[in-house]
Structure 1
Amino acid sequence: MGNPNKTIAILGGGITGLTAAYELLKLGHKPTVYESSSRIGGAIETIRQNDFLAECGPNTLLETSPRISALISELGLDSRKRYANPSMKNRYIIKGGKPVSMPLSPGQFVTTKLFSLGAKLNLIKEPFIAPCPSETEESLAAFVVRRLGQEFLDYAINPFVAGVYAGDPSKLSVQHAFPKLYALEQKYGSMIKGQFFGARERKKRRTVSKDKAKLVSFDQGLEVLVNGLGQKIGNTINISTVIESVEKAEEKWVVQGRKIRESFDAVITAIPTHRMTNMTFRDESDLDMSILRGIVYPPVTSVVMGFRRDQIRHSLEGFGMLVPKVERKNILGTIFSSSLFENRAPEGYVTLSTYIGGMRQPDHALLDDQEMDRLILEDLEALLGVRGEPAFINRRVWKKAIPQYTVGYGKILDRFNELEAAHSGLFFAGHYRNGISLGDSILAGLDVAHRINQQ
């Protein structure tokens, strides 16, 4: 147990910073949150208009840990929590210009038209393929082709990575972008064997794999969680406050901006790395943050459209659809938002949340509205049978969306470890270090609070 009543500056009022502030208050410390924009929540923002509900950033929260469930309960939000419709399990992959349901059982895998007989036989061979030497860092694409073949890369991994990272599997590091997948091969010699034996270990840890975890939102969208945290930590938050420098002086960390200069026992940096590189960090001399400039954040635009149900031929019975690169379409994928959760569209209407851009076609995310809508509607018509114009549109352009854990990312993670070890009281947490999912970011906030408490 560390010293109580520490003062902590938290740079960034996104979900990691807010969660850290909440947990630090519980532990008896005094956090202060600095957020440069006029609102808290970061990428989490929910828009409601004419009975349509649109998520501007993440759409769902995966309940992978009991700590996430406990946080929701502590905030008094259990009555507002909503689980995704359990009957909407289908996930569609586009093949040959048509949505094909991903197999959800061994029986479905045998009969699916998504993969050829040769690809299915590759899966049988997978447990007998030798693991890659631990000193060799592979891209996700190389890892998948080696263990499962090109077809699995094209019609399973490529669309999945586009949906999660908006990324390119040939550039992502399997070791850092998908560390659990990498660990299965290193520990068990096989992904399939690792899934079987790893289930026992997850049960002991009381954690749930992401493919089995429940999808969560709230009655009025994910911003309910942000507001719940905000209410608990309210007077610790400073919005519209830009921090320009962090400097160690006389055993304290001095945080300075245009209108503020305050001293703290510790600092948590929970802002994107592309903003860190515009700041000065100093402890006797300037800290070298130059390696962070190499982190790629591709642009992604989220476009939520509302249609009359009779405008769409597809059943929309499922989570959504993902588009492989080899299908040569404009969009990355579409979530069937109103199929997953109630209260997303007025009676007789549906909402579709579509993503465009990413590493695959970054320019598409920056098109003018008219051209972007034309490309999206062209794909939705071809793939889902959407006819006519939407009754509702909400668009959010993320010019720097998701950090890409590319091959060589270990050097960046090592740099954060070095900075924390060399400069007591300086901490880093967020999706650039701890995983890119919403759940990862929540756990990062909880973890960094406890690391400070124990120091």
Structure 2
Amino acid sequence: MRTIAVLGGGIGGLATSYYLCRNPQVTKVIVLESSSRFGGWLWSTRRSDGAVFEHGPRGIRPAGAVGRNTLNMVEELGLEGEVLPVTYSHIASKNRYLYVNGQLHKMPSRISELLRTVPPFSRPLLLSVASELLVTKSKEDDESIHSFVSRRLGKELADIAVDSLCRGVFAGDCRKLSVRSCFPPFYNAEQRRGSLILGMLLGSGPTPVISPGSLAQRSIKESWAQWSLRRGVESLPESLAEYLQQSGKVQLHREAAVKQIHPSASGWKVHLEDGVVSADHIISALPAKALSSVLPSSCQPLIQQLQDVSSVTVAVINLEYEGSILPVMGFGHLVPSSEDRGLLGVVYDSVPFPQHNRPDGQTTRLTVMMGGAWFQEVFGPPEAVTDEHLIARATEAVQCHLGVTTAPIWSRVALQRDCIPQYYLGHFSKVESMRHFIRENNLPLSLTGSSYDGVSVNDVIFSGRTAVQELLGTGV
């Protein structure tokens, strides 16, 4: 395998290139990124006074094989000294809130809280958990997350907690999202054990084997719930880009939008604005719709399936306030769609990561997330909405939900267009069908990134690793 072109320089494309360049079978990797920076949605603002603000993912979970895999990469890149861990005993891990019926409600975090009725729920959650063991297994191939949880744990839990969770994780509507693709462990637990509870206790199927390096071992020993980096999560793609640059195998190209790709005798010709790149194989880390627009017409069935993968736009508004203004301490609060369709949640950034506050004088950093699956309905077309309108809406939410009467001393709007793919019902079979078409037609093409196998940072990095393993048939 002489030359591999990687389309997209977000975390998916960079991680894929990292695994490629560590493999002796690969001679040359060409990374093509359409924008002026690498890192995609991992994007941090570092102010000159030392404050750090995130415009995308802010905390990364260390749990499971995919979490260990990312921590191993962080260690290999020499970033372990930059890691900011948040343990399960930290107040940000223990205190998570829902804003329901005009009030903040702390989510149960101890067994004792499951035994009694805790608002906004009308009965003890342990009753829902206990009765789940008696629910019969579904015979359907797929099901919406709302339907799955309603059936197994009750409609109230689905309407309030799961609705809010899906808005926080996917900025999406749990009534449309697929449980099989969004929460595979839930689906597998029911299929293999007949119960979520038994699946959690006994395991719900095979998981990848990733040996933990010393940093991942430390995360287990110290019981980390999440982690970030001292200069923000953008340090990860920055370090990856630097590693790739120094590898001698990788060419990194910014502002190199792919216009069209065509088959050639040896693989592909990739047409750019100002030239053509030849490659034996392409690994696409582009969003599905972006890839669909550059494939040749001979790939029509694949093009159609790629176009069917929708994504949503999220407005991320960073706010900074003078002093300590929070009425409660915790990670933040989520808002169910029944309460406010446009407002997804508020993260209390200063609580889990006070190291990102400016060092002199006390301030509070918050992030308000808005829109998602409801963006168009609430705010209209993304190109028509103004920063002023979004900031006003965000500060109004902070005032209403948290009782903060002072104005922010600093604000920043990042309108993240089409940033989170939505795995609707049948997503898994759609992705299987895409990969089947690629195999059947012997296309020198691999699909990776958030459009297919998981939207989290860990999932996307692991998807790049898997694509390289499947292509080269060896460990990485």
Change in CA separation of 1:313 and 1:87 when aligned onto 2, cut-off 3 Å? closer
Picking from 209, 217, 221, the partner of 2:232 is 221
Deviates more, 1:50-59 or 1:217-226: 50-59
Q: Which residue of 2 aligns with 1:325?
A: 337
Aligned to 1:176: 181
Residue 206 of structure 1, CA deviation:
6.4
The answer (yes or no) to whether the contact 2:146–2:159 under 8 Å persists in 1 is no
The answer to whether the Cα contact below 8 Å between 1:300 and 1:362 also exists between their aligned partners in 2 is: no
- The verdict on how the C-alpha distance between 1:109 and 1:203 changes in structure 2, with shifts beyond 3 A counting, is farther
Residue 143 of structure 2, aligned match among 124, 134, 138: 138
1:373–1:62: structure 2 CA closer, same or farther, 3 Å change rule?
A: same
Give the drift of 1:33. Answer: 0.3
The separation in 1 between residues aligned to 2:162 and 2:301, in whole angstroms, is 38
Task: Tell me which residue corresponds to 1:298.
Answer: 312
Match of 1:70 in 2: 72
RMSD: 2.5
Query: How many Å apart are 1:363 and its aligned residue?
Result: 4.3
TM-score, normalisation: structure 1: 0.92
User: Could you list the per-position Cα deviations for residues 214-244 of structure 1 after superposition, in whole angstroms to 9, with x for gaps in the alignment?
Assistant: 3111000001111110101125201100112
In 2, Cα distance between equivalents of 1:448 and 1:165: 23
Check whether the contact 1:159–1:322 (CA below 8 A) recurs between aligned residues.
yes
Deviation per CA, 1:379-408: give whole Å up to 9, x if none. 211211112211111111012121100012
Alignment match, 2:156 = 151
Query: Residues 14-43 of structure 1, C-alpha deviation per residue, up to 9 Å, x if partnerless?
Result: 111101111111112121100011110011
Output the CA distance in 2 between the equivalents of 1:441 and 1:313: 34
Q: 1:214 to 1:157 in 2, by over 3 A?
A: same
**Contact map agreement 1:344 1:350 (CA 8 A) in 2:** no
2:312 alignment partner, SS class = coil
The aligned amino acid for 1:309 is: G
What is the deviation of 1:342? Answer: 2.9
2:16 to 10, 20, 26: 20
Alignment partner of 2:121 out of 95, 107, 115? 115
Q: Corresponding residue for 2:52?
A: 53
Long gaps (5+) in structure 2: none
Between the aligned partners of 2:182 and 2:346, the Cα distance in structure 1 is 22
The correspondence of residues 370-381 of structure 1 with structure 2, limited to 5 A, is: 370-381=388-399
Q: What amino acid maps onto 2:340 in structure 1?
A: R
Q: How far 1:119 sits from its partner (Å)?
A: 5.7
CA–CA distance in structure 1, aligned partners of residues 301 and 121 of structure 2: 50
Q: What residue number does 1:84 align with?
A: 86
The reply on whether 1:277 has 2:292 as its aligned counterpart is: yes
For each residue in 1:71-107, what CA deviation from the matched residue of structure 2 results, as whole angstroms up to 9, or x when unmatched? 1111010111111263322111112222211111221
Q: Does 1:35 align with 2:40?
A: no
How far the C-alpha of 1:307 sits from its partner, in A, is: 0.5
What secondary structure sits across from 1:125 in the alignment?
Answer: helix
Question: How many pairs does the alignment contain?
Answer: 446
Cα separation, 1, equivalents of 2:181 and 2:4: 29
> Which amino acid in structure 1 is aligned with residue 92 of structure 2?
M
Candidates 73, 77, 99, aligned match of 1:94: 99
Could you tell me how far apart the structure 1 residues matched to 2:148 and 2:86 are? 32
Q: Structure 1 residue 199: deviation in Å?
A: 8.3
Match of 2:404 in 1: 386
**Corresponding position: 1:441 with 2:460:** yes
User: Counterparts of 1:80 and 1:425 in 2: how far apart (Å)?
Assistant: 38
Q: Distance in 1 between matches of 2:124 and 2:174?
A: 22
Contact 1:144 1:150 in 2 (8 A): yes
Partner amino acid, structure 2, of 1:155: I
Deviations for 1:37-81, whole angstroms, at most 9, x for unmatched residues? 111001111102243311111112122332211111110101111
Match of 1:11 among 7, 28, 34: 7
Does residue 233 in structure 1 map to residue 244 in structure 2? yes
